[in-house]
Amino acid sequence: MRDRDRKPKFHRSEGSKGADKRPERRRETGRRPPWRGREGADDDTVILYGWHTVTAALANPRRQIRKLLLTENAARRLTEDKIDTRVTPEIVRPNLIDQRLGPDAVHQGLLMEADPLDSPGIDTLAEAGIVLVLDQITDPHNVGAIMRSAAAFAVKAIVTTARHSPEATGVLAKSASGALELVPLVTVQNLARSLNEMNERGFMTVGLDSQGHENLGAVALQEPLALVLGAEGKGLRQLTRETCSVVARLDMPGEIKSLNVSNAAVLALYIGASRLGLMG
């Protein structure tokens, strides 16, 4: 029997309270600390749930898995789709996952505990294509949706602040629908300083703000391009605005002149990718 046809081994959880044997995690020196997750778990454990989120993590060799809980139906589907679980899962009843996540979480019978992914440094950003910069956007649903759009538009990375940003776990990961494994997250301590560094490296940093001087569609965009988005309501902070090389707006023809930040990100990415000839 070929390895790829081999069925994953499962064991059924009996609800024991024995200590988990977690693999020792090594951190490379000189690397920035990972974007940590705390939701629903101890220490820096990342919680991932839902079909697309968990299967994307299983397909990512950089994701170190600690524990995998599956319902019988989810385990059967993984076997039928020949998806390697990489670790021996625990087969549990759906209500056990419900208890872990709460009744509103759509987990589809899959829950993973994993290590956070390492966060690359700002100096590793590719000097081509598009990068997104998030200025204190705290809603995990919005950040997850932005990540999903970023993956669709082949964004090179997302830059965000270490503080005033959601953890890369739980709701955010579910909203990202697997994009957490595809788009590098670069966390920085000081956003204005990082934007200055990007300006010095030749990035065109374009802040999106309703009070921008030009419509984004009329700006002469160039690579590498960094689109900077602010939180809903507050928008870009003053120092962020002052550090961007251009501040532009998104003009709307209808009565409502503003968009949810995740929708604004999609529109800005479409304009940017189209103007730069990145649409294929």
Say yes or no: 56 and 152 in one domain. Answer: no
Say yes or no: 133 and 72 in one domain. Answer: no
Say yes or no: 132 and 244 in one domain. Answer: yes
In a domain, 9, yes or no: no
Say yes or no: 104 and 208 in one domain. Answer: no
pTM above 0.85, yes or no: no
| CA–CA gap between residue 8 and residue 39 (Å, rounded) | 28
Say yes or no: 239 and 103 in one domain. Answer: no
Q: What is the model's pLDDT at position 251? A: 93
Say yes or no: 142 and 226 in one domain. Answer: yes
CB 228 within 8 A of CB 135: yes
Dihedral, CA of residue 136, residue 141, residue 143 and residue 146, to nearest 10: -140
pLDDT band at 232 (very low <50, low <70, confident <90, very high): confident
Query: Rounded mean pLDDT of the chain?
Result: 87
Is it the case that residue 69 has pLDDT exceeding 60? Answer: yes
Q: What are the tens digits of pLDDT across the range 79-111?
A: 999 999 999 999 999 999 999 998 889 999 999
In a domain, 29, yes or no: no
CB atoms near residue 232 (< 10 Å): 16
CB atoms near residue 41 (< 10 Å): 17
Is it the case that residue 226 has pLDDT exceeding 50? Answer: yes
Is it the case that residue 30 has pLDDT exceeding 70? Answer: no
Residues in the chain: 280
Q: What are the tens digits of pLDDT across the range 161-182?
A: 988 889 888 999 999 999 999 9
Say yes or no: 137 and 197 in one domain. Answer: yes
Is it the case that residue 43 has pLDDT exceeding 80? Answer: no
Number of structural domains in the chain: 2
Q: What is the model's pLDDT at position 17? A: 40
Q: What is the model's pLDDT at position 73? A: 97
In a domain, 240, yes or no: yes
Is it the case that residue 62 has pLDDT exceeding 70? Answer: yes
**Residue 197 carries which DSSP code?**
H
Q: What are the tens digits of pLDDT across the range 114-148?
A: 999 999 999 999 999 999 999 999 999 999 999 99
CATH number at residue 108: 3.30.1330.30
Say yes or no: 84 and 216 in one domain. Answer: no
CB atoms near residue 247 (< 10 Å): 20
The domain in which residue 76 lies consists of 46-114
**SS3 at position 54:** helix
Q: Is the peptide bond before 34 cis (omega within 30 degrees of 0)?
A: no
What are the beta bridge partners of residue 227?
A: 132, 206
Q: Which of 83, 114, 145 is the last residue of a domain?
A: 114
Q: Which of 64, 80, 114 is the last residue of a domain?
A: 114
Find, among 98, 107, 90, 112, the residue nearest to 18 by Cα: 90
**SS3 at position 280:** coil
Q: What is the model's pLDDT at position 24? A: 38
- Average the pLDDT over 61-67 and give the result: 97
Q: What is the model's pLDDT at position 80? A: 97
Tell me how far apart the terminal alpha carbons of the chain are, to the nearest angstrom: 41
List strands edge to edge, sheet with 110-114: 11-12, 90-91, 65-70, 110-114, 46-49
Q: Which of 85, 114, 143 is the last residue of a domain?
A: 114
Q: What is the model's pLDDT at position 194? A: 97
Q: What is the model's pLDDT at position 12? A: 53
In a domain, 91, yes or no: yes
In a domain, 14, yes or no: no
Say yes or no: 128 and 249 in one domain. Answer: yes
Is it the case that residue 25 has pLDDT exceeding 80? Answer: no
- From the centroid of its chain, how far is CA 95? 27
Tokens of 30: 């000189």
Q: What is the model's pLDDT at position 35? A: 39
Say yes or no: 169 and 203 in one domain. Answer: yes
In a domain, 57, yes or no: yes
Is it the case that residue 269 has pLDDT exceeding 70? Answer: yes
What are the beta bridge partners of residue 260?
A: none
Say yes or no: 134 and 243 in one domain. Answer: yes
